[in-house]
Every structure is written in C-alpha cells, then in structure tokens.
Chains A and B, each alone.
Chain A
C-alpha cells in the first residue's frame, strides 16, 4: 500500500491518522502515544502554547519528525480565528492551519457562518486551510468552494466519543468532495476510526479517544491499525448488503469452485 498516500495541498503523508494533543496526562504519555499512532501530522492549540518554550510538545513533535498543524481552538469569531492563524504562521513558520471556530465552550460545535468567513479570508491570504466543520454536506461544499485544502467534518462533538452519528452525511460529503475529507472529532474507539475510512474519508483526526484512554499508547496503536484496516476495506470494495436472502460463498453442496 506504499503508493497509497494522503496528499493535502501537495504535502504527502503515508499515515492517514492525524493526532491531537489535548487531554494527555503527561508529556511522556503523549509522546509514547504519538509514536505508537504512527502519525506524521499532529495538531496543537497555539493559544495554549509558547512556541519558544523548550521541552514543550513542539520539541516532542520535532524529535519524531511529526509535522505541526497549528489550530485555532478557543476562537469564537472569524476575526479571532484569523488573528490566531496569522500568529501561528509567524510563530511556527507554516501556512498549514486547522481552522476551528466554535459556537460555545460547552458543545464546542462549529459556528458555520463564522467558519465560512474565516476560511474564505485565510484561503485568500495564502493559508492551507483544513476546516473543522459540522457534518453538513452543503457547508462542506461551500468550504471547498472558498478554497479549503481539506474539509474536516465531525463524527460527533469534540471529546464526546460518540462515534459517527450520521454516516450517511459523511458519505455524501466524501462523494461530492474534490479535496481530502478528514473525519475530525467524536471518535471513541477503533471501530469508529475504521468506519470513517470505510465511508471513504481520506484520514481521521482524533485526540481524546487516545489521550484519555487508560493506556493511551495501546489505544493509539489500535487507532493506527483501524485506520489502515478501514482504508484497505474501502479500497478492496465491500460486498453489497443483501437484506432478504443469504448467499453463502461456500456452497452447501459439493466443493467450492476454485
């Protein structure tokens, strides 16, 4: 599968698992989990981080050659998000930005109007925008139209672990998209990540499911494997569902026709 790579705005990744860092009990546990996940791209909240501080999570990412995807977590308006993205670009010397504009700090659901405004502004300003969005196919289309490099619909709210609540919407988003679709938020366990990939997502982004697990590194390895399994299943082409009759591959009489 080595030629099956994820490409976002010309950058190529062999891993299709994007990690977040929120919720880790310690830097060491986070490091072990990131390594176990095999991730090549990890998102960090710029507002919670001083890029100049030695020994921070950024050093961990550098040590393992994991690209930094700064995000605008904690922003409630397009204006704040644009400011934060520009600070991130300056501080981290990257045009990559995971755009998050949330409506409140309880649900952390994206505010679609502010999100679209910010995405348009940042894309026009030369950013490579990966937009965290609701699982709304029309909003996903609009985000692509304003120039987002990837669209990242939620499976369910951030940190909820509720999995993919509306798989049909995710399929509709995938089928219409010309840019990579990254399932972002809501993953609770490995089967959720596999499902995202089976639905045709190009990658999965998760944090809490790993960082808050009893054994984060083990869950990270499970997620790595699940993403690979889901991707392979998608490429392999699943059989159609038959709801009214069984059709076993091994005949009841005689031998298999090999």
Chain B
C-alpha cells in the first residue's frame, strides 16, 4: 500500500478523489510522469471496481445509436494489452488481462432472431463478427446447453480479472510513490472559479492546483461543487455471482459467453483459475447494495439454462455493486467548469474496459493543459442543455 499521510496542510501536484480502477490508473500514469500524486479513498479498490465482471466487450454489448462510445471503447480495448504489460512490469503481479474472445449465444429461436438483428447492426458498423449455427457454437463450447440455437463469435472482445487489475494498480501506485490517503473527501476547495485543494472528512486539507474526481457512483455527491456543475451520475445497482468450477470439470468454458435465454440476458466470464463470474442484474434502487434472493435466482436460472453444468459449480460469492451511470451511458471526462478540476467518472458498465484510455486521456489533459480530441464527445457540458428546465433543479445532494 502507498505511504500513509495524515498531516494537516498536505500538498500535491495532483489529488485524485477516488481509488477505484480509474482513479488508481490515473494516479499511476501521472506519478510515472514524475508528479507528486495523492489518492484519497477510505477503501481503495473495494467498491465497483471489485464487484465488476471485467468484460472488455464493446462489440458484444454495442447499443443502437452509441457510436461515439463505441469508438472510445474500441480504442480502450486496443490499449489494454500494452497497459497490462506496462502495469505488470511495474507491479510485478498479473494485471489480469484474459484474451479469450467472446461467444454471444441465443437459447430459443426468438433469442436467435434478436441475436441476428444485433449481428446485422455490428456488421453495418464494420465490426468483426461471425454468425454460427447452434451446432457450430457448441463445438466451440461443448458444455453449452443442447438447446442453444445460434451464436455469434466475436474475436475482439476479451476480459480482465478486475480484482487482479486492482491489486496490480495498488502495487504500481506504491512503486511510483503515490500517496494513498485512506480518507473520504468531503469537498473540493474552490477559490473563485479555481480548485485549490480538497478537504477530507477528518478536516484535513490537501492543497493542489489539479484535482481529478474519479468518485464513480458517488461523483454527484462530492462537496464544494455548485449545483449547475454537478455531474449527472447516478448509481445503478448490479448483482453478480462468483462460482468455482471443480477441477474435474475445468475449464467449463474457454471464452466469455454472453447469452440471451428466453429473453433474459446473462453473461458468464471464465477466469484461468477456475472462477466463473455470472452477471448481472440491473436496478435503479439508489445506493442499495443488498443482494436480493430474486437477483441470485434469476442469474442462476439463466446461467443453468445456457450452461447446465452450473448446477455442479460452487457458489462462492454473491455481491451487489453500483455502476456510475450517466443519462447517455457514456463517461464524463475532462473539464468540469471549475479550473483545475477534471472529471473521470460515469463509466457505467465500462469502467474496467475504459481504464487504460481514461488514464491516458486524463494524464494527457493534465500534462498539456488542453482537451484531447478523443475526450470531446464526453465533456460534462454536453448535458448542460438538460439542466434548469421547467423549474426543476439539478439533483441536490442528500447527505
């Protein structure tokens, strides 16, 4: 872990608010450039970053009309191998990248029609997808259910063991001299229209002319930000399971499998050590992270529909996390409207995927003081037209 400081009046070149994957990766990149970086997080790497499944699936999960996001996602998948290699060289532990390709599979014929519709769209976008019959699909993954009716092979979608990535980043930030302050940031300190530091819950302040806010689903609650500049980030709950494949059955799957089973979506992400991650539910229930029986039930129901041997796997963990969602599902990156404060938040379902590109773009922004071209579609001010309308205020922070 990083050096602990608790001195009143700390100073840093850059303060990063939030020690999830995004915050840690930004801090690592900046400190590697020679800056004095402080990361503030009471429990780094334990929230959304640790709950996620770690799919790098921009092609499999593409949605109609999200072209800008697709471009950013593809750029970040392309950046992952070099990012992982550099991270491993510094940290000396695996970064968790698992290059498997992804199989999208359909259970019944209605699911197959939906899958074909998506494959058509993916082809129109020029993405590399290969349609398979049910039998061809099962040749690639023989333990899939006999009833699988169709598949699509997506060679460019992979996965990352996000917990390994968090552990590697925690090692890396320590190696490059990042200060890790295990405290919650109460507010950004703003003088006029310029950020000058942060104040922690314990009252201490850290002076800095560059703040990166990477507080994920808590970003809208960060103190010190005027209402009209608050990022429209809301928590979207997801439940997820971790199963263990007994030795005798390994590997139950060799590729990430994304399935639609009787209209319900489920994904299964195999890890080299025999872990199989099954996700994920979606609900808008505020900061609720209880695991509900119905969530576990629906995930297991759908998992065993597409992979009957699920019955024989050990249920190791069920957990719920919060995705930092924005109105258009795309992240909020770069200038905040307050000089010296940059957003690196709102990554919704793509935080693990977007970690390398976010770190590089934010580091570049700070190095150059400019706005990198790739960031332009993701600036916070794209939501500005939405703000005061019909007398409704932007979200007030409830604390």
Contact = CB atoms under 8 A, between A and B. Distances in A.
Contacts of B234: 53-56
Contacts of B389: 63
A25 B284 contact: no
B286 A53 contact: yes
B220 interface: yes
B392 A56 contact: no
A29 B65 CA distance: 9
A231 to B, nearest CB: 28
B392 A59 contact: yes
A25 B286 contact: no
A26 B235 contact: no
Interface stretch (A44-52, A91-99, A166-174, A248-256): A44-52
A82 B283 CA distance: 21
Interface in A21-38: 25-29, 31
Contacts of B193: none
A106 interface: yes
B262 A50 contact: no
A21 to B, nearest CB: 10
Contacts of A57: 284
Contact of B285 (A31, A49, A54, A62): A49
Residue among A29, A49, A55 facing the most chain B CB atoms (10 A cut-off): A55
A204 B284 CA distance: 26
A53 B328 contact: no
B66 interface: yes
A66 to B, nearest CB: 11
A65 interface: yes
Contacts of B285: 48-50, 53
Interface string B271-288: 000000000000111101
B64 A106 contact: no
A62 B393 CA distance: 11
A215 B328 CA distance: 14
B63 interface: yes
A257 interface: no
A25 B65 CA distance: 10
A159 interface: yes
B327 A59 contact: no
Nearest to B329: A26
Contacts of A49: 283-285
A64 interface: yes
Contact of A64 (B390, B395, B398): B390
Contact of B64 (A27, A55, A63, A214): A214
Nearest to B298: A105
Nearest to A48: B283
B220 to A, nearest CB: 7
A230 B283 CA distance: 36
Contacts of B65: 25, 29, 214-215
Nearest to A53: B286
Contact of B329 (A25, A52, A159): A25
B76 to A, nearest CB: 19
A53 B63 contact: no
A25 B232 CA distance: 17
Contacts of B10: none
Contacts of A55: 220, 232-234, 327, 395
Given A48-B283, A55-B232, A213-B64, 20 more contacts: A25-B64, A25-B65, A26-B327, A26-B329, A27-B328, A28-B327, A28-B329, A31-B327, A48-B284, A50-B285, A53-B235, A54-B234, A54-B398, A55-B395, A56-B234, A59-B392, A63-B392, A65-B390, A214-B64, A215-B64
9 closest Cβ pairs, A-B complex: A54-B395, A50-B286, A55-B234, A28-B327, A53-B286, A28-B328, A26-B329, A27-B327, A25-B63
7 contacts: A25-B65, A25-B66, A49-B284, A53-B284, A54-B395, A54-B398, A55-B233
